[in-house]
Structure 1
Amino acid sequence: MPDYIPTNAASSGVKLDKKTLKSIAARSDKPGLIYIAQWVAFLAATGALVWAALGTLWVWPAMLLHGIFLTVPAYSFSHETAHGTAFRSRWLNEAVLWVTSFLYMEEPLHRRYTHTNHHTHTWWVGKDSQMPFDTPMGFGGWLAEISGFALLRFHIQVFVYLAAGRYTDTMKMVTPEGGFAKMTRNARIMLMIYALIAAAPFFGIWWVVWFLVIPRILGAPVMLLFTLIQHVELQENSPSILESTRSFRSNRLAEFLYMKMNNHVEHHLYPQVPFHALPKLAEALQDQLPQPDPGFCKTNLEVMSVVLRRSLGRQTKAASIRQAPHMITGAARWNVSRSGQCELGRKIPIRSHSMSQWIDACATDDIDEEDLISWQHGGKSYAIYNTKKGFFASDLICTHEEQSLEDGLVIDCVIECPLHGGRFDICTGKALSAPVHKDLNTYPVRVEGGRVFVETG
């Protein structure tokens, strides 16, 4: 069992009724497909502006606008599909992950695995593999972060390492068995496509420059301003998402670009909830959460003011955004550990069973269809499922990060881990999708007289 507590709703003391969570987390292809249609329409409109402005100075603001609509949704969609929550259909989710990760310029499985780690150890120094800057942040660090070039340099390094089959310690830490071969293949394919794009102007093909390359560069700072305010100025090394993560108010345009991820506290508490349902989740949790910070522009202006004042040695208390106490000049200083060691742990004892026996576990009507309940017997934790194919039982704990499946989503005969989105076949226990690779133990079930019996052992 792990010697840490994953950062999520449980570690933050936030609770939501299971039936409410299941309703909010329901999956559908429709919202994602609508989003794609809207995104393509926006890109066609901004692309038409670029085309009309070619040969004039107006092409630069046109490419900036086009770049914002290209880059921010590419980041947002690759993030959502990395979680596996954008679509109900898995193949559609994986296809969009590949395309949007190409636009974002990160190998898609590296994106998924490092982001899985980010949710396990949100804003833990030395453990969170997506903690890109030192804290507290100064003005120089702010400039480096929002320019996009530091991120681009890092992604190029990752591509080169993966393509060459050279895997860093971080990659080895976050990647499950069997993942490296796929990552290397993807990196080589993507690098070949990038090379073709770079060579295109030498063959007289300039449209990729005006509609893809330059807009991607110009749009990156706006994308990074969205990502920067997720955690900046908040508490490192805390088990509570309420202390490490920020939500902010937003208008409809910013919500579209960011796929409603302005509800970022809510997303980190329950990452199994799809993007379109985050406002509903925020409403359900509003009495348990801090108030969201001001909108995108005001929050970013406040952050810029704080980091500039910090670099000048002035007072750093923000007027309207949340800050950790040690981020404020004159407050008690916190010594942020750089060891990456978490002092919080949880042990779940599991005793072996030497004999098999049929145990009356529950009534059939205790479990809604396409749902599960947890069941304890003999010091061991089980999951009992009600699916369209009948009742099944398995271990309750995910084989990836030792997370309970109790709040997981049942889709057809698949259980999805609520922490990282790994999926198992309920009938066989087979691991179906990353980051899980080890199968789940299953147990025989029979139904008699409206009761569910499980053969333990």
Structure 2
Amino acid sequence: MARPCSIEGPLRQDFINKLALVRVKTYGQGDMSEKRTPPVIDWYRSPISSELFKQLHKRSDWLGLVQTGGFLVIVASTGCLAYFSWTQGWPWPVTVMLVFLHGMVSSFHTNGMHELEHGTVFKTKALNAFFLRVISFLGWINFEVFIASHQRHHRHTLHPPDDQEVVLPVKILKKHFYQQGFVNFTSLWWHIKYTIRIARGKMETPWELYCYPPDGPQLRIPPVRWARTLLIGHGLIFAVSVAMGWWMLPVLTTLAPFYGGWLFFLCNNTQHVGLQDNVPDFRLCCRTIILNPVFRFLYWQMNYHTEHHMYAAVPCYHLKRLHEAIEHDLPPSPNGLIATWRQIGGILRRQESEPGYQYRAPLSDAAERRY
């Protein structure tokens, strides 16, 4: 069984840091630097008809704009409202509430980056690339590093050492929610140090060296370039704001990913925690949950996480339809965040007394016979 993870310092960039500041388990430096060929995993995928397969994989610039543009409109609207409240001298509790609301929606930049990184949101590649950079900049995310790691995560989901993006078991405590759900100074400080390090071309952790080996220096150019873009861009925002006296501007741009993250925390930490590793079945290592339409939209439909792993090329706006098509072949999905965290809480409590315990999601009799 995998060792418990530390929750204090992330190894993966923004996606893990802002999830729960979970540090995935690292194997020895020598282990990760060894030349090895990862095994090919024969993943089970719930069958769908060829016609439905084609329909679900169709990308749409219009639907992509609805998701991406709609999300950015919400971010811009909450930011403008908070700025207006500050400039007009509204009561300070109102301004604080509006700033916090802006941070809450801005926390989901991570999920937008994730979907755009898959290249499935827009039919037009240039639109994917453009909005990937916009959202990554707003979220302080080095999407180049994320891509290198996330490709391996999908191929070898929860199969260490070939997936170190998520390594089970993960320990989540109430204090982590309070630390990260309101004002997350730890994440801000980590991002600054991390981005400076990558901008200097310093790949240090075993997983970084595995994704960016020393004998491939050309592979490091894109993440280094983007890290420098983040530092220069956010540095300019801060400098202009100080010069012009626009104190609220950096709060609503540069600092926005680092406060109000309570909803993001509750959504994103549900994906794999407490489930099984080293199994070739996404139904056992991924968790789908049912959310209301507003939360689903902010979360970029990633509540359908089992479906996303089964068919990673399906655009996020088709995942609900995919879920409905294969629901009969999936474990029961918790309905809402309260039900989901009751399930997760029970698993985590049992793991305290049984460190090797992993929750096995119930499958149909036919599916169980496969094992």
Retained in 2: the 8 A contact 1:75–1:223?
Answer: no
Structure 1 runs not aligned, ≥5 long? 311-315, 317-326, 336-457
* Runs of 5+ consecutive residues of structure 2 not aligned to the other structure: 1-35, 359-371
1-side partners of 2:164 and 2:134: how far apart?
23
The residue number in structure 1 matching 2:159 is 124
How far residue 302 of structure 1 moved from its aligned partner, in angstroms, is 5.2
CA distance in 1, matches of 2:40, 2:230: 36
8, 15, 20: which one pairs with 2:52?
A: 20
2:134 to 99, 122, 126: 99
Which residue number in structure 2 is paired with residue 69 of structure 1? 105
Are 2:164 and 1:164 equivalent residues in the alignment?
no
Distance 1:305 1:152, change over 3 A: farther
Aligned counterparts of 1:65 and 1:124: Cα–Cα separation in 2 = 37
Question: Higher RCO, 1 or 2 (CA under 8 Å, sep at least 6)?
Answer: 2
Q: Distance in 1 between matches of 2:156 and 2:193?
A: 23
Residues 213 and 219 of structure 1, relative CA distance in 2, 3 Å threshold:
farther
TM-aligned CA deviation for residue 134 of structure 1: 5.0
User: By how many angstroms is 1:221 displaced?
Assistant: 3.3
Deviation at 1:35, TM superposition (A): 2.2
Q: Which amino acid aligns with 1:14?
A: S
Which position in structure 2 is the counterpart of 1:289?
330
Distance 1:334 1:305 in 2: 11
1:173 aligned partner = 210
Judged with a 3 Å threshold, the aligned counterparts in structure 2 of structure 1 residues 292 and 228 are, in CA distance, closer, same or farther, namely: same
| Bigger share in helix | 2
Q: Percent identity?
A: 26
Mapped partners of 1:283, 1:42: distance in 2: 28
Measured in 2, the distance between the counterparts of 1:52 and 1:114 equals 40
1:292-303 equivalences under 5 Å are 292-300=333-341, 303=344
Give the secondary-structure state (helix, strand or coil) at the position aligned to 1:294: coil
The 1:60–1:160 alpha-carbon spacing in structure 2 relative to 1, beyond 3 Å, is same
1:95 CA drift (Å): 1.1
1:68 Cα deviation from its structure 2 partner = 2.0
CA shift, 1:102, in A, is 1.5
The within-5 A match list for 1:193-232 is 193-203=233-243, 204-232=245-273
Contact 1:242/1:265 (8 A) holds in 2 = yes
1-side partners of 2:193 and 2:282: how far apart? 30
| Larger-Rg structure | 1
What is the aligned counterpart of 1:43 among 48, 51, 75? 75
Tell me the CA shift for residue 334 of structure 1. 4.6
- 3-state SS in 2 of match to 1:46: helix
Q: What's the counterpart of residue 348 of structure 1?
A: none
Report the Cα distance in structure 2 between the residues aligned to 1:306 and 1:252, rounded to whole angstroms: 27
TM-score by length of 1: 0.61
Report the Cα distance in structure 2 between the residues aligned to 1:4 and 1:128, rounded to whole angstroms: 12
Instruction: Report the residue type matching 2:154 in the other structure.
Output: H
Secondary structure of 1:57's aligned partner:
helix
Q: Is the CA contact 2:38–2:162 (under 8 Å) kept in the aligned structure 1?
A: no
Distance in 2 (CA, whole Å) between partners of 1:135 and 1:235 is 11
What is the one-letter code of the residue matched to 1:118? H
Q: Displacement of 1:167 after TM fit?
A: 1.9
Q: Identify the structure with the greater strand proportion.
A: 1
Distance 1:132 1:188, change over 3 A: farther
The count of aligned residue pairs is: 314
Q: CA deviation at 1:125?
A: 4.1
Aligned partners of 1:303 and 1:278: how far apart in 2?
23
